[in-house]
Amino acid sequence: MAWRIPAALKTTAFRLSALYLLLFAACAVMLVLYMTAMSARLLNDQTQEAITAEASDLGRAYSRGGLPLLVRMVASRSRQPGANLYLIADSQGRILSGNVESLEPGVFDVDGWTQRPFSYKRFGEGSPQVEGEREGTLTEVDRNSDGHKALALVLRLPNQMILLVGRDLGEPERFRSAIRQALVISLGTMAFGGLLIWFFVGRRALKRIDSVSAASKRIMGGDLTGRLPVSGAGDEFDRLSENLNVMLSRIGELNDGLKEVSDNIAHDLKTPLTRLRNRAEAALTGKPKAAEYRQALEATISESDQLIRTFNAILMISRLEAGYSAEQVEPVDLAEAVADVAELYDPVAEEAGVALTSRVQSGCSIKGNRELVAQALSNIVDNAIKYSAGSSEAPKVEISLAQEKGDCVIRVRDNGPGIAEEADRHRVTERFVRLEKSRSQPGSGLGLSLAKAVMKFHGGKLDVLSANPGLLVVMTFHGQRDSE
């Protein structure tokens, strides 16, 4: 099996994996975006709160100790690690103190919150803290000049002094970029995982389907004995294959049946046709008398009648086996049907010196076709009378109808020679099978196969058993199912 990409892309497995992947990715992105936005807002709020607190702190210091205290406090605070932005300016905007180096113009024009890039000095967070720090020990770690923004609060103090307290927004920015990175990594992992799963699952499914396709191609090629592979996993592929295999078996059976019929037709219709032709030909040769012509013609007619009979029986069997139309299905009283057939054959049996008895239990009713049941039963009874007539002891045929476990069972038992071999007993219900011993008896060899087809049509079965001595034919009609 070639593992080709275009074919792989066309598989349902791939399409489904791709769809799931896209959906999950979209959900993940949405979730992360939402979380980022929420945390950024939270951080912002916190920053604002901190700034406000700081500013009001400084404002109080100014009103308590005036400018010198404020300047001192700002100077000390701005030297702390991770410090905020501090600035004190006079009314003209000249910077008096603080860690902000330069300002964009117009910062002090508006009171309140402002957000813009600032340039300021900042001291390392991890640097050793020394009591009573001096100017000289201060190391400038972060000179913010790459334009990250800071959030600042501009406050006007009494005396036209301006106080600015702010905080670098670099931290939330870093937070955001960390989340972004996490998102990219997780999405990447997800895509990779999805591809991996699709590769294995999809390839496995594709492999199974390809093997089924290959098997079905072989079968279509004419190998009707071939079957689809079943892995034994019991999954949906197996179930599908098993069902298709049952279907294939049924098709095979029907095909065999068809072949058998055509073989049989070839043999059992061609033979009498040849006889017919020979007879007509023989009548034409020489100079026969009128009476001889007549005799030949009569023989021809009776031969063709037999042919028609055989032909009708074949047609009927195949129609029954193909599933007869249900239009002629009605309630049939089996007791009545059996009694009628027994009565029909009574004089025949008497003439043949066979004692025909029937024991009928009433109350057996089935859904079916009265004529078909009668025809099947009369074929069986006809056989029984024919064969028991050759019996050494007093020949007899017993017909019985009984209800057994919800099934209606008709038994026809004779005391004729019977059929010793079980395989032969099984074989007599096949079309045209006439056992060697019975070749001398008239008949088409279709009687029992017709009976079998009739039983199959009624959802029942026909069994040919040994009655020791003699033959026992059992017609079983399964319990009254109204659905039939």
Partner 1 sequence: MKILVIEDDKEAADYLKKALGEAGHNAHVAGDGDTGFAMADGGDYDVLIVDRMLPHRNGLTLIADLRAKENVTPVLILSALGEVDDRVTGLRAGGDDYLTKPYAFTELLARIEVLSRRSAAKEVETVYRVGDLELDRLSHSAKRAGKEIVLQPREFRLLEYLMRHSGQVVTRTMLLENVWDYHFDPQTNVIDVHVSRLRGKIEKGFEKPLLHTVRGSGYMLKAG
Q: Looking at beta carbons only, is 347 or 363 nearer to partner 1?
A: 347
Binding of partner 1 at residue 312 (CB under 8 A)? yes
DSSP 8-state secondary structure symbol assigned to residue 129: P
The answer for 153, left when phi > 0, alpha when psi is -120 to 50, beta otherwise, is beta
Radius of gyration of the chain (CA): 52
Binding of partner 1 at residue 359 (CB under 8 A)? no
Binding of partner 1 at residue 229 (CB under 8 A)? no
Q: Looking at beta carbons only, is 285 or 325 nearer to partner 1?
A: 325
**∠ CA 190-191-196, rounded to 5°:** 95
Q: Looking at beta carbons only, is 368 or 418 nearer to partner 1?
A: 368
To partner 1, the closest distance from the beta carbon of 20 in angstroms equals: 56
List the structure tokens of 319.
């129609």
CB within 8 A of 476, min separation 6: which ones? 407, 408, 409, 455, 460, 461, 462, 463
To partner 1, the closest distance from the beta carbon of 448 in angstroms equals: 11
Q: Which residue among 104, 305, 330, 404 contacts partner 1 (CB under 8 A)?
A: 305
Kindly indicate which of the ranges 9-17, 158-166, 366-374, 464-472 contains the residues binding partner 1, using the contact rule CB under 8 A.
366-374
DSSP 8-state secondary structure symbol assigned to residue 128: P
Cβ atoms 462, 451 nearer than 8 A: yes
Q: Which residue among 296, 348, 360, 467 contacts partner 1 (CB under 8 A)?
A: 348
List the structure tokens of 365.
């009713």
Which positions from 325 to 344 touch partner 1 by CB under 8 A, shown as an x/- string? x-xx-----------x--xx
To partner 1, the closest distance from the beta carbon of 356 in angstroms equals: 12
Binding of partner 1 at residue 310 (CB under 8 A)? no
Binding of partner 1 at residue 351 (CB under 8 A)? yes
Binding of partner 1 at residue 357 (CB under 8 A)? no
Cβ atoms 398, 412 nearer than 8 A: yes
Q: Looking at beta carbons only, is 153 or 446 nearer to partner 1?
A: 446
Q: Which residues partner with 97 through β-bridges? A: 88
**∠ CA 425-428-431, rounded to 5°:** 155
Cα 368 to Cα 326: distance, rounded to the nearest angstrom? 9
Binding of partner 1 at residue 37 (CB under 8 A)? no
# residues contacting partner 1 (CB under 8 A): 32
Q: Which residue among 253, 330, 371, 404 contacts partner 1 (CB under 8 A)?
A: 371
Binding of partner 1 at residue 217 (CB under 8 A)? no
Q: Which residue among 84, 114, 144, 369 contacts partner 1 (CB under 8 A)?
A: 369
Interactions with partner 1, residue window 160-179 (CB under 8 A): none
To partner 1, the closest distance from the beta carbon of 213 in angstroms equals: 42
Binding of partner 1 at residue 345 (CB under 8 A)? yes
Instruction: Specify the amino acid at residue 215.
Output: A
Which positions from 108 to 147 touch partner 1 by CB under 8 A, shown as an x/- string? ----------------------------------------
- CA 310 to chain CA centroid, nearest Å: 47
To partner 1, the closest distance from the beta carbon of 333 in angstroms equals: 14
To partner 1, the closest distance from the beta carbon of 385 in angstroms equals: 8
CB within 8 A of 212, min separation 6: which ones? 228, 229, 237, 240, 241
Q: For residue 222, with 0-12 CB atoms within 10 Å meaning exposed, 13-18 middle and 19 or more buried, which class applies?
A: exposed
Length of the chain, please?
Answer: 484
Interactions with partner 1, residue window 444-473 (CB under 8 A): 444, 447
Cβ atoms 238, 32 nearer than 8 A: no
Angle, helices 447-457/370-388, rounded to nearest 10 degrees: 150
Kindly indicate which of the ranges 3-11, 199-207, 298-306, 476-484 contains the residues binding partner 1, using the contact rule CB under 8 A.
298-306
**∠ CA 18-19-24, rounded to 5°:** 100
Cα 398 to Cα 358: distance, rounded to the nearest angstrom? 6
To partner 1, the closest distance from the beta carbon of 270 in angstroms equals: 18
Binding of partner 1 at residue 398 (CB under 8 A)? no
Q: Looking at beta carbons only, is 11 or 318 nearer to partner 1?
A: 318
Binding of partner 1 at residue 440 (CB under 8 A)? no
- Closest residue by Cα to residue 430 from 314, 325, 319: 314
Cα 210 to Cα 231: distance, rounded to the nearest angstrom? 13
Q: Which residue bears the tokens 């702010």? A: 166
Cβ atoms 383, 462 nearer than 8 A: no
Kindly indicate which of the ranges 61-69, 71-79, 217-225, 367-375 contains the residues binding partner 1, using the contact rule CB under 8 A.
367-375
To partner 1, the closest distance from the beta carbon of 378 in angstroms equals: 6
Kindly indicate which of the ranges 168-176, 184-192, 282-290, 297-305 contains the residues binding partner 1, using the contact rule CB under 8 A.
297-305
Q: Which residue among 319, 359, 426, 481 contacts partner 1 (CB under 8 A)?
A: 319
Kindly indicate which of the ranges 181-189, 204-212, 245-253, 443-451 contains the residues binding partner 1, using the contact rule CB under 8 A.
443-451
Long-range contacts of 55-61 (CB under 8 A, 24+ apart): 55/153, 55/155, 55/163, 55/165, 58/86, 58/163, 58/165, 59/155, 59/157, 59/163
Query: Which residues of the shown chain bind partner 1 in the complex (CB under 8 A)?
Result: 301, 304-305, 308-309, 312, 316, 319, 325, 327-328, 340, 343-345, 347-348, 351, 369, 371-372, 374-375, 378-379, 382, 385-386, 442-444, 447
